């Protein structure tokens, strides 16, 4: 008799657990990632005036399956100096969040690097600096020489070694790296 | 009284009725009433004649030259209450005596190799006993299991060590802690088991899925962690262990106190604290590799011959640093990190643990009870509650800097009901039911898309195992199990991924809503998993034995394999699961030849594991993102085959000198693609010279050589990336295994009796004595750093 009761209790307990239905937690909230940089726009304005050249990369699904859309608005002019400015946006948010501000605030933790393919004869150097006078590079100056074509790569490193002698020495993590094909006429 | 009646009934139950004069034998076995542990060195006395014999290492005994008679036999054992049985001898008679045995905790008397129990009768299993556990007190479960042949580990640095049994890991290795299956997000390769080994009395590894009472999905194997038992007598005792560790400049302290009563009541409390700073390899410091662990556990209950109840609770809290230099952006960063001879970031030694890091809290509470009925056998009930909180911190920017990148809470309720009975004398039946409810909550506050979604999971299973002892030499075991799993998840997919997989057509019925380029879906999945085992054991003579086991096991895909979709930062790769996965099914054949003799013994264990719909993750493409290029790793199902052999041998030259050998080989192939499987342990051998002298304060000296060959069979997952600085396509070598290596380890122990109640044990362990620089194929950080350099551990243990 006792045995039967004991057994029955245990079985009931088992069944109870198996059938216990959980209250629905409700619909989960979608996560909109705030740190994502979806868009980098590089504006190159000729110092003596003229039409600016805009280089842009835009990747609205972040690390999703769509590749970034890379555009170059026009050709650069030979023997010309350009004032460069970089704007970083997170367009998954509405309105889009300007990440450049954050990069410039934490200027000691960031640095832009410009890598030009050989034979293109372009030189570029940062014109804004962090608190310790090391380059930040969201503002820069770019000078072309003879005509030609090739690539310019913009790399943003997070927590690089500062000061450094260039990309190969900087360390840190890559936040952005985009290569643009450019033509100098 | 009932018990006596039961025992007598059992004892009289069988036996041949043919009278053969006074040349009968009475043979049999003495086992522990509770867990069927064989009891060696028990004394058996026939009271009428005062004939006395002991039981052997396997708990077996034999009286010869008996007449057909009824005699009284007294069975006694150092740690059991003596019992008297009346036995009717009629022809050659075989009896099994069950004593209520409790390990004497007070002075750690557990003689190596003399007390062993088997969880399954026909599968190779290895047990790690208390004294070895104490030696590894400052280590982790993965590290200690590494000492067993056929078991290696998949590491993420020094702190995350996952057991790998016969080449398989994660969800394919089931860990049972005090009767409850651990549900601690074991699916991830960088998720270590959340167990404090100092709570364990012994640890058993079963290389295979045949122990169906624990689950039918342990395609790799099962790790059973059992707590120590309290003796049934009035006693108060404890022990404290302190370890100082040179590499990591840390210490570990663990203490345990037990109070027991002769009426069966007992209570135990235990705690561990462990703190290590950055570890070092031969030439440099590994920055941010500290560990801070705090564990506490208690148990109380009553343990009587026919019934018992126990309540227990264990908390494991672990902060683990992950090598800073392993946290990378895209493929270009990976190239730099791989090409650099030293990690990209090496800082001064510190105890601080910064991001990237993991903070894990695991609660395990359980209530268990058993009752033995006269006619029904033993009924066991267990309820377990587990809560696993896992915070993973990445290097982040801005306001989110100190926020976890992943914040998961997994709650699991488990109920077990098991019934063990002897249908008739040599036929044992074990059967049981299990049901489990699990709820996972992924906190959206992290600000990072969830890799693992919110889900609810229900499991129901039932098993039955029959063990038949044909004769004292031959036993057969057969079992079957069926499990049903139901998963109900709420998962956000990126619209682009959802459409690129064509899920928007296949699974249009589970779409709930779409916003911000994300689709909310409600996958509801059911899996039906049958499993079975069949095994035979045959004992040739006193020392030789063979086991054969076939097991069928099947495993539902885990949440990571089903739902992953996004950048897995700690691996610097994008991981994609697949909603369409079916269960994995494995057929494993295992054969074991064992020789067990005090002078020379060995175990040879070849096996073949054929797995259909085996889930592997491998790279499929390079994805361009604004952050550079990332390798995309996708899970897929294939047909796999693993074959291997584990060898163990020892030879004792004398009472003092012995050598121990181990050799493990496993080969894993993807039969569909005719290529090797990734992360298969390389061939390894361990050889050990042991000197021991019991009279010199139980001195033990061990010198161990560990040689790990290079893994020559591996899939080629290298990929090419354009590097703008050099304007070249560069190969990212993520496949080539590191070179072979040889390590020397040393271990010394001595024990001193301070007074009648207090014993002091001193030990020194030196790992990687020669400070060899090496890289381990099974360490996920091998691309970026060497493995651990010399490590000296000093252990002090006080039993009181």
Per-residue model confidence as pLDDT tens digits over B645-688: 999 999 999 999 999 999 999 999 999 999 999 999 999 999 99
Strand B628-652 vs strand B573-576: parallel, antiparallel, or unpaired?
Answer: parallel
Q: Which residue has the tokens 């069966």?
A: B264
pTM, entire model:
0.84
Interface of B with A in 368-397 (CB under 8 A): 371, 373, 376, 379, 381, 383, 395-397
Please confirm whether the linkage preceding A163 is cis (ω < 30° from 0): yes
**Residue B112 pLDDT:** 26
Cα–Cα distance measured from residue B702 to residue B30, given in angstroms and rounded to the nearest whole number: 33
DSSP annotation of B195: -
- How many Å lie between the alpha carbon of B344 and the closest alpha carbon of chain A? 7
Q: What does the DSSP assignment read for A53-68?
A: EEEEEE-TTTTSSSPP
Could you read off the pLDDT of B225-235 as tens digits, one per residue?
988 888 878 88
Could you read off the pLDDT of B7-23 as tens digits, one per residue?
333 333 333 333 345 78
Strand B180-181 vs strand B628-652: parallel, antiparallel, or unpaired?
Answer: unpaired
What's the total number of domains in chain A? 1
Q: For residue B74, what are the β-bridge partners?
A: B45, B84
Residue of B371, B373, B627 lying closest to A175 (CB–CB): B627
**Residue B531 pLDDT:** 95
CB B74 within 8 A of CB B25: no
Cβ pair A177:B496 closer than 8 A? no
Cβ pair A32:B516 closer than 8 A? yes
A28 in contact with chain B, both atoms CB, cutoff 8 A: yes
Nearest Cα residue to B554 out of B635, B453, B485? B485
Strand B584-595 vs strand B628-652: parallel, antiparallel, or unpaired?
Answer: unpaired
Q: For residue B386, what are the β-bridge partners?
A: B364, B412
Q: Which residue of chain B has the CA closest to A13?
A: B415
- What does the buried/exposed string (b/e) look like for B465-481 if buried means 16 or more CB atoms within 10 Å of the residue's CB? bebbbeeeeebbbbbbb
B502 in contact with chain A, both atoms CB, cutoff 8 A: no
Could you read off the pLDDT of B118-136 as tens digits, one per residue?
455 677 678 887 778 888 8
Cα–Cα distance measured from residue B731 to residue A11, given in angstroms and rounded to the nearest whole number: 60
Show Cβ contacts of residue B654 under 8 Å, excluding neighbours closer than 6 positions: none
Three-state DSSP state, A136: coil
Show Cβ contacts of residue A3 under 8 Å, excluding neighbours closer than 6 positions: B373, B376
Beta strands in B207-287 (DSSP E): 221-226, 235-245, 250-260, 265-276
Residue B3 scores a pLDDT above 70: no
CB pairs under 8 A between A and B: 159
Q: Which residue has the tokens 């740190």?
A: A35
- Of B99-108, B134-143, B640-649, least confident by mean pLDDT is B99-108
**Residue A22 pLDDT:** 45
Q: Would you tell me how many other CB atoms lie within 10 Å of the CB of residue B530?
A: 14
Cα–Cα distance measured from residue B575 to residue B482, given in angstroms and rounded to the nearest whole number: 31
B494 in contact with chain A, both atoms CB, cutoff 8 A: yes
Nearest Cα residue to B72 out of B43, B45, B39? B45
> What six digits make up the tokens of B788?
């651990």
Strands of B51-54's sheet in order across = B51-54, B43-46, B69-76, B83-89
Q: Which residue of chain A has the CA closest to B520?
A: A30
Cα–Cα distance measured from residue B309 to residue B367, given in angstroms and rounded to the nearest whole number: 7
Residue of A31, A65, A178 lying closest to B626 (CB–CB): A178
CB-count burial class (<10 Å; 0-12, 13-18, 19+) for B660? middle
CA A142 to chain centre: 21
> What six digits make up the tokens of B769?
């004595």
More confident residue, B773 or B303: B773
A169 in contact with chain B, both atoms CB, cutoff 8 A: no
What structural domains does chain B harbor? 2-99 (2.60.40.10), 125-223 (2.170.130.10), 224-799 (2.40.170.20)
Instruction: Give the confidence band of A6 by pLDDT, cuts at 50, 70, 90.
Output: low
| Mean pLDDT on B132-148 | 86
Residue of B435, B494, B627 lying closest to A61 (CB–CB): B494
**Residue A119 pLDDT:** 83
Nearest Cα residue to A150 out of A176, A114, A175, A113? A114
B330 in contact with chain A, both atoms CB, cutoff 8 A: yes
> What six digits make up the tokens of A29?
């909230």
Residue of A25, A65, A158 lying closest to B454 (CB–CB): A25
Residue B5 scores a pLDDT above 50: no
Q: Which residue of chain B has the CA closest to A92?
A: B516
Instruction: Give the confidence band of A28 by pLDDT, cuts at 50, 70, 90.
Output: confident
- How many Å lie between the alpha carbon of A49 and the closest alpha carbon of chain B? 30
Q: Which residue of chain A has the CA closest to B385?
A: A17
A1, A20, A28, best to mutate vs chain B, most B CBs in 10 Å: A28
B435 in contact with chain A, both atoms CB, cutoff 8 A: yes
Instruction: Give the confidence band of B242 by pLDDT, cuts at 50, 70, 90.
Output: very high
Could you read off the pLDDT of B196-223 as tens digits, one per residue?
989 988 888 888 877 899 999 999 999 9
Cβ pair A167:B329 closer than 8 A? no
- HSE of B642 in the Cβ direction (CA atoms, 13 Å)? 30
- Of A62-66, B159-163, B270-274, B514-518, least confident by mean pLDDT is A62-66
Cβ pair A28:B444 closer than 8 A? yes
**Residue B35 pLDDT:** 61
Cα–Cα distance measured from residue B167 to residue B145, given in angstroms and rounded to the nearest whole number: 14
Q: What is the 3-state secondary structure (H, E, C) of B270-311?
A: EEEEEEECCCECCCCECCCCCEEEEEEEEEEEEECCCEEEEE
More confident residue, B350 or B330: B350
Instruction: Give the confidence band of B80 by pLDDT, cuts at 50, 70, 90.
Output: low
Interface of A with B in 47-106 (CB under 8 A): 57, 59-68, 92, 102, 106
| Mean pLDDT on A26-33 | 82
Strand B173-177 vs strand B221-226: parallel, antiparallel, or unpaired?
Answer: parallel
| Mean pLDDT on B605-619 | 93
Task: Supply the ipTM of this predicted assembly.
Answer: 0.81
Residue B706 scores a pLDDT above 90: yes
**Residue B629 pLDDT:** 82
- Range ranked top by mean pLDDT from A8-17, B45-54, B296-305: B296-305
CB B757 within 8 A of CB B720: no
Nearest Cα residue to B220 out of B207, B231, B232, B211? B207
Q: Where are the alpha helices (DSSP H) in A20-173?
A: 99-105, 167-170
Instruction: Give the confidence band of B115 by pLDDT, cuts at 50, 70, 90.
Output: very low
Residue A129 has φ and ψ, to the nearest 5°, of: -135, 160
B343, B397, B623, best to mutate vs chain A, most A CBs in 10 Å: B397
Mean pLDDT estimate for chain A: 85
Could you read off the pLDDT of B719-769 as tens digits, one per residue?
888 888 888 888 888 899 999 999 999 999 999 988 888 889 999 999 999
Residue A94 has φ and ψ, to the nearest 5°, of: -130, 115
- Cα–Cα distances in Å, from B54 out to A142, B59, B63, B343? 93, 9, 10, 61
Residue A48 scores a pLDDT above 90: no
**Residue B374 pLDDT:** 76
Maximum pairwise Cα distance, chain B: 97
Q: Which residue has the tokens 């075991």?
A: B477
Q: Which residue has the tokens 């690390």?
A: A63
Cβ pair A14:B415 closer than 8 A? yes
Instruction: Give the confidence band of A129 by pLDDT, cuts at 50, 70, 90.
Output: very high
Mean pLDDT estimate for chain B: 87
- How many Å lie between the alpha carbon of A104 and the closest alpha carbon of chain B? 11
Cα–Cα distance measured from residue A11 to residue B368, given in angstroms and rounded to the nearest whole number: 14
Residue A170 scores a pLDDT above 80: yes
Instruction: Give the confidence band of B95 by pLDDT, cuts at 50, 70, 90.
Output: confident
**In angstroms, what is the C-alpha Rg of chain B?**
28
Q: Which residue has the tokens 């969040």?
A: A97
B460 in contact with chain A, both atoms CB, cutoff 8 A: yes
Q: Which residue of chain A has the CA closest to B486?
A: A18
**Residue B106 pLDDT:** 28
CA B262 to chain centre: 33
> What six digits make up the tokens of B181?
């299956």
Q: Which domain holds residue A16?
A: 3-184
B454 in contact with chain A, both atoms CB, cutoff 8 A: yes
Nearest Cα residue to B613 out of B575, B583, B643, B642? B583
Instruction: Give the confidence band of B104 by pLDDT, cuts at 50, 70, 90.
Output: very low
**Residue B127 pLDDT:** 81
- How many Å lie between the alpha carbon of B74 and the closest alpha carbon of chain A? 31
């Amino acid at each position: 008799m006792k045995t039967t009761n004991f057994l029955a209790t245990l079985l009931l307990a088992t069944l109870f657990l198996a059938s216990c239905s959980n209250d629905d937690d409700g619909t989960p909230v979608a996560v909109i990632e705030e740190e994502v940089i979806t868009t980098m726009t590089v504006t190159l304005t000729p110092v003596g005036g003229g039409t600016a050249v805009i280089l842009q990369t835009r990747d609205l699904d972040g690390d999703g399956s769509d590749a970034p859309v890379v555009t170059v608005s026009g050709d650069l002019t030979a023997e010309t100096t350009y004032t460069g400015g970089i704007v970083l946006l997170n367009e998954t948010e509405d309105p889009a969040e300007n990440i450049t501000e954050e990069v410039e605030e934490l200027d000691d933790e960031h640095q832009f690097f410009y890598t030009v393919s050989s034979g293109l004869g372009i030189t570029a150097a940062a014109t804004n600096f962090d608190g310790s006078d090391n380059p930040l590079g969201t503002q820069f100056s770019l000078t072309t020489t003879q005509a030609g074509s090739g690539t310019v790569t913009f790399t943003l490193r997070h927590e690089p070694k500062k000061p450094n002698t260039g990309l190969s020495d900087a360390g840190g993590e890559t936040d952005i790296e985009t290569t643009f094909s450019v033509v100098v006429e | 009284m009932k018990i006596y009646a039961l025992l007598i009934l059992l004892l009289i139950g069988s036996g041949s009725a043919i009278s053969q004069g006074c040349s009968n034998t009475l043979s049999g076995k003495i086992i522990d009433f509770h867990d069927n542990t064989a009891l060696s060195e028990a004394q058996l006395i026939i009271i009428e004649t005062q004939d006395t014999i002991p039981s052997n290492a396997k708990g077996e005994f034999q009286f010869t030259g008996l007449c057909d008679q009824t005699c009284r036999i007294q069975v006694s054992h150092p740690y059991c209450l003596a019992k008297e049985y009346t036995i009717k001898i009629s022809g050659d008679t075989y009896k099994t005596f069950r004593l209520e045995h409790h390990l004497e905790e007070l002075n750690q008397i557990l003689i190596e190799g003399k007390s062993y129990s088997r969880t399954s009768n026909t599968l190779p299993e290895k047990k790690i006993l208390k004294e070895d556990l104490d030696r590894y007190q400052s280590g982790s479960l993965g590290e200690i299991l590494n000492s067993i042949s056929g078991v290696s580990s998949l590491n993420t640095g020094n702190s995350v060590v996952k057991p790998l049994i016969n080449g398989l890991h994660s969800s394919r290795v089931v860990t049972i802690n005090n009767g409850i299956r651990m549900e601690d997000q074991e699916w991830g390769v960088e998720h270590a088991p959340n167990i404090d080994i100092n709570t364990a009395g012994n640890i058993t590894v079963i290389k295979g899925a045949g122990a169906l009472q624990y689950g039918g999905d342990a395609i790799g194997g099962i790790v059973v962690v059992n707590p120590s038992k309290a003796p049934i007598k009035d006693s108060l005792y404890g022990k404290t262990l302190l370890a100082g560790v040179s590499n990591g400049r840390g210490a570990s302290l663990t203490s345990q106190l037990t109070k027991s009563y002769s009426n069966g009541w007992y209570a135990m409390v235990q705690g561990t604290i462990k703190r290590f700073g950055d570890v070092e390899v031969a030439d440099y410091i590994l920055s941010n590799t500290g560990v801070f662990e705090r564990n506490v556990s208690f148990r109380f209950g009553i343990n009587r011959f026919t019934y018992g109840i126990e309540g227990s609770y264990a908390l494991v809290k672990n902060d683990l640093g992950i090598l800073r230099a392993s946290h990378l952006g895209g493929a270009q960063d990976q190239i730099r990190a791989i090409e650099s001879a030293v990690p990209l970031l090496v800082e001064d030694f510190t105890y601080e643990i910064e991001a990237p890091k993991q903070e894990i809290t695991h609660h395990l509470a359980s209530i268990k009870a058993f009752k033995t009925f006269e006619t029904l056998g033993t009924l066991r009930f267990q309820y377990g509650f587990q809560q696993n909180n896992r915070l993973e911190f990445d290097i982040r920017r801005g306001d989110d800097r100190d926020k976890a990148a992943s914040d998961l809470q997994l709650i699991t309720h488990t109920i077990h009901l098991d019934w063990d009975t002897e249908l008739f004398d040599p036929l044992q039946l074990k059967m049981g039911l299990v049901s489990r409810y699990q709820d996972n909550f992924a906190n959206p506050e992290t600000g990072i898309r969830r890799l693992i979604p919110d889900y609810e999971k229900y499991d129901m299973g039932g098993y039955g195992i029959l063990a038949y002892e044909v004769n004292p030499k031959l036993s057969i075991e057969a079992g079957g199990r069926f499990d049903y799993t139901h998963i109900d998840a709420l998962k956000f997919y990126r619209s682009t991924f959802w459409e690129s997989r064509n899920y928007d057509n296949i699974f249009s019925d589970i779409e709930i809503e779409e916003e911000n380029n994300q689709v909310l879906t409600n996958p509801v999945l059911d899996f039906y998993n049958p499993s079975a085992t069949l095994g035979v054991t045959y004992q040739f003579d006193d020392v030789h034995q063979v086991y054969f086991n076939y097991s069928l096991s099947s495993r539902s895909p885990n949440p990571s394999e089903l739902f992953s979709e996004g950048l897995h930062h700690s691996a610097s790769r994008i991981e994609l699961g697949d909603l369409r996965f079916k269960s994995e099914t494995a057929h494993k054949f295992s054969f074991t030849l064992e020789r067990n003799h005090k002078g020379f013994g060995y175990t040879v264990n070849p096996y073949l594991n054929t797995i259909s719909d085996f889930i592997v993750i491998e790279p499929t493409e390079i994805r361009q993102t604004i952050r550079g290029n990332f390798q995309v790793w996708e899970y897929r199902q294939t047909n796999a085959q693993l074959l291997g052999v584990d060898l163990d041998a020892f030879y004792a030259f004398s009472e003092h000198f012995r050598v121990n050998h181990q050799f493990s080989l496993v080969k894993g192939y993807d039969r569909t693609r005719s290529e090797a499987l990734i992360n298969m342990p390389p061939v390894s051998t361990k050889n050990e010279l042991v000197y021991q002298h019991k009279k010199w304060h139980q001195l033990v000296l061990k010198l161990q050589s560990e040689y790990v060959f290079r893994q020559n069979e591996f899939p080629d997952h290298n990929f090419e990336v354009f590097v703008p600085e050099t304007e070249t396509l560069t190969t990212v070598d993520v496949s080539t295994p590191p070179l072979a290596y040889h390590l020397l380890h040393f271990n010394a122990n001595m024990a001193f009796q301070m007074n009648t109640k207090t014993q002091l044990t001193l030990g020194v362990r030196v790992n990687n004595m020669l400070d060899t620089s090496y890289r381990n194929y099974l360490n996920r950080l091998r691309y970026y750093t060497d493995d651990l350099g010399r490590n000296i551990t000093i252990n002090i243990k006080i039993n009181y």
